[in-house]
Chain A
Amino acid sequence: MEPVAIVGWALTPMVRRTDKSEARLLFDVVTGATEDAGITRADVDFSCAGSCDYVAGQAFSFVQNIDAVGAWPPKRDSHVEMDGAWALYEAWVRLQLGDLDVAIAMGSGRSSTADPATIYPMEMDPYYLAPLGADAVSLAALQARVLLDAGLVTERDMAGVAARTRADAVGNPYAQVSGEYDVDALLKEDYVRAPLRKHDLSPITDGAAAVIIARGDKARELSDNPVWITGFAHSAEPHQPGVRDLRASTSTARAAKAAGADGHFDVAELQAAFTHEEPLLTAALGLGPDVAVNPSGGPLAANPVMATGLVRVIEAARQIRDRGKQRTLAHATSGPCLQQNLVCVLEGTK
């Protein structure tokens, strides 16, 4: 495996509704990430972006987004209709070929463009799920109840996750939702989709993120403290939630094993967009109580759809480069009830 490291990144402010276009959000994070890595756009050999036309409300919206990277000198480019974490995965695979040194991965979403409940069914099975208007929150609520009925989590646990992450997010300048909340008060709120209350859900967020990765010697040349990607894998389960055992996340466990994630981490940044997903993922990843989960506040603090997973990688990398941690984990997910999961293991230079 070619050694590849993260050498720079940038995030936009995370807000309920931005007046900037997606292309402009990306322009800003590409500028920020290249500056952070001490390079220019001309140094980027390969770019890969994650976004979604249904979120943008425009066919081929990703073509405009390429302007953010720049057209000169000509560079190889790709796009995934996925979270930017999968764009990073493709960029990492591309660097494994050994002929390119520097790549940029991006993720962007203006979730405020439309009601997510109308957009989400468009990525569902069009025969059995989409015609019912099966939205993300309803599907998540079905999984939450399975966990509650199985005694794997309680509504108080879930409110506890919301309170802890919102409190952690107070120190995160990129958080959209943060503050001190009382669990008993949270439990008195009405259900949005029983058993989920508003605090069990992620906010609707506009935002973008970009990450620069570089290979071996180039990474050492660019950074005094490169964050090495030492494991990277993703795995999917069947699309139909009804054929899966929703009490566990087997694809997360499978991806973790393939990535060499043994549960021993200083910090784990998980794309738990609903409170009940955090204990489910923690169990699948074998994380003990000594691992700090989502100290940034996680997706419950800001959820820029199509960038949320890539932001987890950035926050996990930040823990190593800027906070002195040694080994961290980033997780990203896609599809109904945690259908597909990605695990990225990051390590500092000892």
Chain B
Amino acid sequence: MTTFVESTVRFPYKRSLGSVIGYFMTALTDRRIVGIRNGDRVLVPPLEWDPATAEQLNPDFVDVGPAGTVRSWTWVAAPSGQHPLDHPFAFALIELDGASTTLLHAVDAGDISAMETGLRVAPRWRAQRVGHLTDIEAFVPGEEPVTPEDDAGPAAEPVTMMNYDASISYTTPVPETQLVFGKAFAEGRLVGLECPNCHRVYTGLQQACPVCAIPLNGTHEVELPQTGTLTTFTIITPVQYPGQTETEPFARVHVLTDDIDAVLAYQPVVDFPNADVHPGVRVKAVWTTDADGKQELAGWTPTGEPDVDDPSIVNRIF
């Protein structure tokens, strides 16, 4: 029976817009839609380069629309959280008046029967506009743009940045080899997987001996000692991205376990000041017990023994 793990990854992007897309987004806050001249064509949305030749385009902007013609459409009967509207709508390629290309956007038409190629549509503006494609809430059938009565007006400064926050939920199988490690951890044990051919011991994500090409599983489990020697380390200065809980510089160390030829990589430390972390330090595992009585590896702490002065450990990064 395979164990699956569910996780949600957020991608909170912050992007600079540049002079062309920035101009377009700034114009949106002023309830204007602009294109850029490309020879005798007007590209909407504007691009920085000629899509055929890759020549840089002059910043020759042209107001287009606000109304336009639907050149193609599809119906989204069950919108998801990533869509601009929370009720059924159309995605459409809209050729705004004065444009030579089409803009992808939502059309709030109420019902699929209202949609047809050639339909005339106009933008429905948000009251609060920030310089984002969704400042146009959607296009609606008709010739006249729709503006809320509480319109907040254009941005005071040119828009130079935009946020785009995506979120994806994953369901991923947990490899059997990871279950072996996890079960041992909960019991306060450290284990590795030993290749039956070359007898190398693996402690990471390997599901096969990459040297001998032999799949590994629970039958290859070997008990690891809980003492070892630090072979290398890094001090990480945390950047405050979403989900980062560290605030001060912290160490991650690699530990070469005693007697058994295995390195545990990127391990945390306990009661071990950053300034004292260096290769050769003798360390031992420190465990804590959670509310369910399961053991958790808190990290590694110095044993107080003298350093190992063996040049070979510098070759034991993995």
Q: Do residues B43 and A243 form an inter-chain contact, with CB atoms below 8 A?
A: yes
Cβ–Cβ contact A138 & B162, under 8 A: no
Interface string of B212-224 (1 = CB under 8 A from A): 1101000000000
Asked if A27 is at the interface of the complex by the 8 Å CB criterion, the answer is yes
The reply to whether B75 and A145 contact each other, CB–CB distance below 8 Å, is: no
A206 to chain B, nearest CB (A): 10
B215: chain A residues at CB < 8 Å are 24, 27
Check A134 against B72 for contact (C-beta < 8 Å): no
Contacts A24-B175, A67-B210, A145-B117 given; indicate if A122 touches B71 (C-beta within 8 A). no
| A residues near B80, Cβ cutoff 8 Å | 115, 117-118, 133
Q: Is the CB of B47 within 8 A of A121?
A: no
Do B74 and A114 touch (CB < 8 A)? no
Binds B, one of A82-90, A164-172, A234-242, A320-328: A234-242
Contact present for A138 and B74 (CB under 8 Å): yes
**CB <8 Å contact, B2 and A112:** no
Residues of B within 8 A of A138 (CB): 74, 76, 91
Number of B residues contacting the other chain (C-beta, 8 Å)?
60
Chain A: residues with Cβ within 8 Å of the partner, total of: 59
Are the CB atoms of A71 and B211 closer together than 8 Å? yes
Q: Mark B157-169, 1 if CB is under 8 A from A, else 0.
A: 0000010101111
Asked whether B297 is an interface residue with its Cβ less than 8 Å from the other chain, the reply is: no
Q: Which residues in B have their C-beta under 8 angstroms from that of A143?
A: 72
User: Is the Cβ of A64 less than 8 Å from the Cβ of B205?
Assistant: yes
Chain B residues, Cβ within 8 Å of A242: 44-45, 93, 101-104
**Most chain A CB neighbours (cut-off 10 Å) among B15, B45, B106:** B45
Q: Are A119 and B47 touching (Cβ within 8 A)?
A: no
- Chain B hits for A191, CB < 8 A: 75, 77
Q: How far, in angstroms, from A138 to B75 measured CA to CA in the complex?
A: 8
For the complex, would chain A's binding face be called helix, strand, loop or mixed by DSSP majority?
A: helix
Instruction: Tell me whether A70 is interfacial, beta carbon within 8 Å.
Output: yes
- Give complex CA distance A58, B206 in Å: 15
- From residue A223, how far is it (CB to closest CB) to chain B in Å? 22
**Binding-face segment, B5-13, B227-235, B248-256, B284-292:** B5-13
Contact B213 A31 (CB under 8 A): yes
Kindly specify which of A15-23, A279-287, A341-349 makes contact with the partner chain.
Answer: A15-23
Quote the shortest CB–CB distance from A48 to chain B (angstroms).
Answer: 17
**Pair A66/B210 contact, Cβ less than 8 Å:** yes
- Give Cα A87 to B43, complex, Å: 34
User: Does A133 lie within 8 Å of B83, measured CB to CB?
Assistant: yes
A41 within 8 Å of B by Cβ? yes
Within 8 A of A (CB), among B142-195: 162, 164, 166-173, 175
Write the B14-26 contact mask toward A (1 if CB under 8 angstroms, else 0): 0101000100000
CA distance A23 to B37 in the complex (A): 48
Over the window 215-250 of chain A, the binary record of Cβ atoms lying under 8 Å from chain B Cβ atoms (1 yes, 0 no) is 000000000000000000000001011110010000
Asked if A302 is at the interface (CB within 8 A of a chain B CB), the reply is no
Instruction: Report the separation of the CA atoms of residues A129 and B173 in the bound assembly, to the nearest whole angstrom.
Output: 31
A window 113-127: CB within 8 A of B: 113-115, 117-119, 121-122, 126-127
Tell me if A70 and B74 are in contact (CB < 8 A): no
Contacts of B239 in A (CB 8 A): none
A240-B17 contact, Cβ under 8 Å, with A31-B213, A132-B106, A142-B93: no
Q: Are A128 and B45 in contact (CB under 8 A)?
A: yes
Give residues of chain A (4-20) contacting chain B, Cβ–Cβ below 8 Å: 18-20
Q: Please determine whether A134 and B91 come into contact, CB atoms closer than 8 angstroms.
A: yes
Q: Tell me the bound Cα distance from A69 to B208 in angstroms.
A: 10
Give the distance to chain B from A36, nearest Cβ to Cβ, in Å.
Answer: 15
In the complex, the answer to whether A112 meets B171 with C-beta atoms within 8 Å is yes
Known: A131-B133, A142-B74. A21 touches B207 (CB 8 A): yes
What is the CA–CA distance of A31 and B209 in the complex, to the nearest angstrom? 13
Q: Does B132 make an interface contact (CB < 8 A)? A: yes
Chain B positions within 8 Å of A141 at CB level: 74, 91
Chain B residues with CB under 8 Å of A130's CB are: 164, 166
Known: A54-B168, A57-B170, A132-B134. A24 touches B207 (CB 8 A): yes
Q: Which of A175-183, A192-200, A290-298, A311-319 contacts B (4 or more CB under 8 A)?
A: A192-200
Task: Report the Cα distance A246→B169, complex, angstroms.
Answer: 32
Least CB distance, B210 to chain A, in whole angstroms: 4
Q: Would B172 and A57 count as touching, CB distance under 8 A?
A: yes
Does any Cβ of A come within 8 Å of B282's Cβ?
no
Complex contacts, B170 vs chain A, CB 8 Å:
57, 113-114
Residues of B within 8 A of A238 (CB): 47, 51-52
User: Whole-angstrom distance from the CB of A127 to the nearest CB of chain B?
Assistant: 5
Given A27-B208, A70-B213, A193-B74, A243-B47 contact (CB < 8 Å): yes
A21 and B210 contact, Cβ closer than 8 Å, known pairs A133-B84, A142-B73, A145-B74: no
Give a binary string over B237-252; 1 marks a CB under 8 Å from any A CB, 0 the rest.
0000000000000000
> Is A68 in the interface zone, CB < 8 Å from B?
yes
Chain B residues, CB < 8 A from A31: 213
**Nearest chain A residue, comparing its CB with the CB of B171:** A113
The distance from the CB of A209 to the nearest CB of chain B, in whole angstroms, is 18
Task: Kindly list chain A residues whose C-beta atoms are within 8 Å of the C-beta of B260.
Answer: none
B72 to A145, Cβ gap below 8 A? yes
The contact of A67 among B91, B164, B207, by CB within 8 Å, is B207
* A119/B211 in contact, CB under 8 A: no
In the assembled complex, A149 has its CB within 8 A of some CB on chain B: yes
9 CB contacts below 8 A, A to B, read: A20-B173, A113-B172, A121-B166, A128-B45, A132-B134, A142-B74, A191-B75, A238-B47, A240-B51
Chain A interface (Cβ < 8 Å from any Cβ of B): 18-21, 23-24, 27, 30-31, 41, 54, 56-58, 64, 66-72, 110, 112-115, 117-119, 121-122, 126-134, 138, 141-143, 145-146, 149, 191, 193-196, 238, 240-243, 246
Pick the 4 closest A-B CB pairs, nearest first.
Answer: A133-B82, A141-B74, A19-B2, A57-B170
Residues of chain B having any CB pair with chain A under 8 Å = 2, 4, 7, 9, 11, 13, 15, 17, 21, 43-45, 47, 51-52, 71-77, 80, 82-84, 91-93, 101-106, 112, 117, 132-134, 162, 164, 166-173, 175, 205-208, 210-213, 215
